[in-house]
Amino acid sequence: MPMENEPPAPRPRRRTPAGAAVLREEVTDAIRTAVFEELAAVGYGRLSIERVARRAGVGKAAVYRRWPSKLPIVLDVVSALAVQGLPTPDTGALRTDVRALLELTSRVMRHPMVAQIIPDLMAEAARNEEIAQAVQAAIRDSQRTIAEAVIRNAVARGELPADADIDLAVDLASGPLYWRLVLGRSPLPKGYLDSLTTAITTALGAKES
């Protein structure tokens, strides 16, 4: 670590083209957060640049310098979910990996904002192919990447056959939780995640240890 009085190392400067606006990262982050909050509050249909700017504490021009309309902003925010994603469990055993993944997924789906945003975006996705692709990448594709890693590790340990069905794992890991927590808005019964873990590992053909 540098000493307290030691000046910070200079950062290389990026040349900005003459006349180009400098987009401050903290402003961009504030706008993205505002979009997320507005989606939860009013949905895609009522979301507007004016509302986003007001919530972010910036002028509308700051938003328009980054995105030309609300659709590209929403696509950017939703696509960012795929980049952040969930951590891939690696506990050393299939059952505990699946259980940990279910716990993480349920925690995300219980978040009030997520519970508001996902159904609204799913409805919009039925009418807008660009939103459909962004939602697919943010939700389905990111979950599939995690499931692939969990199954690949289990195959390497000899717990699963090499032809274990990844898509089935994704369906079983997310479908029941989405139905109960997002659509049903009901709490999970005691022991539900353990029972779901057993159902998933059995369906995948896990070998008894």
pLDDT at 11 over 80: no
- Rounded Cα gap, residues 56 and 209, in angstroms: 54
Whether 3 is in a domain gets the answer: no
pLDDT band at 125 (very low <50, low <70, confident <90, very high): confident
Give the chain's domain count: 2
With respect to residue 90, please indicate whether it lies within any of the assigned structural domains. Answer: yes
My answer on whether 84 and 64 are in the same domain is no
Q: CATH number, domain at 123? A: 1.10.357.10
Top-ranked range on mean pLDDT: pick from 10-19, 23-32, 56-65, 103-112? 56-65
- Token pair 């903290």: residue: 26
pLDDT band at 2 (very low <50, low <70, confident <90, very high): very low
Q: What pLDDT sits at residue 209?
A: 59
pLDDT value of residue 86? 73
Q: How confident is the model at residue 84 (pLDDT cuts 50, 70, 90)?
A: low
In this predicted structure, what is the pLDDT of residue 4?
40
Q: Is residue 74 part of a domain?
A: no
31 and 129: one domain?
Answer: no
Instruction: Report residue 141 as tokens.
Output: 């594709």
Give the DSSP letter of residue 66: T
136-145: average pLDDT: 79
CATH of the domain at 56: 1.10.10.60
Whether 54 and 88 map to the same domain: the answer is: no
Pair 177, 103 in one domain: yes
Residue 35: per-residue pLDDT: 93
Shared domain check, 125 and 56: no
49, part of any domain: yes
| Domain that residue 112 falls in | 80-205
Which of 176, 74, 64 minimizes the C-alpha distance to 132?
74
**For residues 64 and 119, is the Cβ–Cβ distance under 8 A?**
no
pLDDT at 9 over 50: no
**Nearest C-alpha neighbor of 73 from the set 109, 33, 112:** 33
Decide which of 14, 46, 68 is a domain's last residue. Answer: 68
Query: Is there a domain that residue 20 lies in?
Result: no
pTM for the structure as a whole? 0.72
Query: Are 89 and 178 found together in one domain?
Result: yes
44 and 98 both lie in a single domain? no
Residues 115 and 191 in one domain: yes
Instruction: Please indicate whether residue 3 or residue 92 has the higher confidence score (pLDDT).
Output: 92
Tokens of 63: 């938003």
Q: Would residue 135 count as lying in a domain?
A: yes
What number is the average pLDDT over the span 105-130? 84
- Report if residue 5 sits inside a domain: no
Three-state SS annotation for 93-162: CHHHHHHHHHHHHHHHHCCHHHHHHHHHHHHHHCCCHHHHHHHHHHHHHHHHHHHHHHHHHHHHCCCCCC
Contact (CB, 8 A) for 207 and 158 = yes
Whether the predicted pLDDT of 151 surpasses 50: yes
- Residue of higher predicted confidence among 47 and 77: 47
**122-148 average pLDDT score:** 84
The kind and range of the H/E element at 194 are helix 192-203
pLDDT tens digits for 157-197? 999 999 999 999 989 988 899 889 888 888 899 999 999 99
For residues 58 and 141, membership in a common domain is answered with no
The verdict on 189 and 101 lying in the same domain is yes
Domain shared by 91 and 120, yes or no: yes
Do 37 and 118 lie in a common domain? Answer: no
The last residue of a domain, from among 36, 68, 100:
68
